[in-house]
Amino acid sequence: MRGKIILEIFGFLLLHSVTGCPERCLCNITLKEVSCTGNGLSEVPKGVPPDTEILYLQNNHIHTISNAAFTDMPQLQVLDLSNNVISSLSSNTFDGLHNLLNLNLANNSINHMDNKILHSTGNLKQLDLSFNNLTSLPEGLFKNQKNLIWLGMHENQLHQLDTALLDSLSNLQVLLFQKNHWKCDCHVAELKLWLEGFLYKGGQIDEILCTEPEDLRSKDLMKIPHELFQPCPSVKQKPAHGDFEHGSSTTHNHHTKSENDQNSDCSSKPKQRAGSLRHAIATIVITGVICGIVCLLMLAAAIYGCSYAALMAKYQRELKKLEHLDPEVEQGSAEEKEPLDGPLG
């Protein structure tokens, strides 16, 4: 047994020297896997075999990634950079990784991403950006990600999201957005509609809880009625060229103020939703009372009509009886009078 262990260690050291495995990393030539997990690395190690398909770099102290860090790894399929201290990524960070299927960037300090950072990873199926400091996602970030089926964005600082970003994810199946700073105002209504369509097609999402406004705090976005999301006011068109010629700086300031007022109205409307909800409830109650009264009146009218009809029918029957009795009474009276008249003659 001891000899077997010694042979395995010797084989590993021999393999390490032949393949040129990076220091403080473990290489498996059969699986084409390199593991540099938890070794206190401050950057992506050099000397990774070019045919590597799986590279584990999690649980280190990597804070920056050079543009050429992965250019010599064209076969890479799985890249795990989670649990590091990466704060930003440039547009060329993942250049050349056309075969990449799984990219894990979770639990870092990423607060910015270039919109072209994924332009080389068109075959990506799983992307994890959870537990970072992202406040927004750049336009066009998922432009070439038609193969992405799993996207993790939970535990960030997102408060809004343009659905145009998600429209290109035609094969997406799982979307995780939990524990972000969602601002449930007029702008989030479009996202709600998109998510409802996504669920209808069989997609999976986690719970999306609102943080603003106060009256919707901790409410699940998907359970809030659409009626509470008033449409955002449309932006007024800019003045015509002639208006600028005859206008003044006061007009320009007034136009700027109008736009600011519109933005202010849009963000302040959620604060009025509590009043709108009370008004809606009061309207429903009043409507119910009125409908109840109308139903009672209709019932009373029906009862009255039936009673009146019954009385009239009874009256008609009595009247017909009297009509049949009148001739008999008259005939009987005539017969009684004839004997009386005879003797008197």
pTM higher than 0.75 for the full model? no
Q: How confident is the model over 178-232, as pLDDT tens digits?
A: 999 999 888 888 899 999 999 999 999 998 999 988 888 999 999 988 888 777 7
Specify the pairing of strand 126-128 against strand 174-176.
Answer: unpaired
Alpha helix positions (H), the chain: 2-19, 164-167, 188-200, 241-246, 249-268, 273-344
Q: Element (H or E) spanning 205, and its range?
A: strand 204-205
Q: Say if residue 334's pLDDT is above 70.
A: no
Q: Which residue in 45, 57, 96, 58 sits closest to 75, CA to CA? A: 96
**Greater model confidence, 262 or 162:** 162
Quick one: tokens of 341? 């008249």
* Banded model confidence at residue 105, pLDDT cuts 50, 70, 90: very high
Average pLDDT rounded to a whole number, residues 21-43 = 94
Beta strand residue intervals within 122-193, DSSP E: 126-128, 150-152, 174-176, 182-183
Mean pLDDT over the full length of the chain: 80
pLDDT of residue 167: 92
d(CA 234, CA 129): 33
pLDDT confidence of residue 305: 86
Q: Give the pLDDT band (50/70/90) at residue 142.
A: very high
Q: Is the pLDDT of residue 273 over 70?
A: no
In the prediction, which pLDDT does 330 show?
Answer: 53
Q: Which helix (H) or strand (E) holds 216?
A: none
Q: How many CB atoms lie within 10 A of CB 126?
A: 17
The pLDDT-based confidence of 246 (bands split at 50, 70, 90) is very low
State the pairing for strand pair 88-89/54-56: unpaired
- 3-state DSSP assignment of residue 128: strand
Q: Does residue 15 have a pLDDT over 60? A: no
Let me know the angle formed at the C-alpha of 30 by 59 and 3, rounded to the nearest 5 degrees: 90
CA distance 1 to 4: 5
Three-class secondary structure of residue 15 per DSSP = helix
- What the chain holds in terms of domains, given with CATH numbers, is 12-180 (3.80.10.10)
How far apart CA 293 and CA 161 sit, in angstroms, is: 48
State percent of the chain over pLDDT 70: 75
Q: Which amino acid is at 285?
A: V
Please give the order of strands across the beta sheet that includes 26-28.
Answer: 26-28, 33-35, 54-56, 78-80, 102-104, 126-128, 150-152, 174-176, 204-205
Asked if residue 271 has pLDDT above 50, the reply is no
Task: Indicate the pLDDT class of residue 234, thresholds 50, 70 and 90.
Answer: low
Look at the block and give the residue holding tokens 């970003």: 165
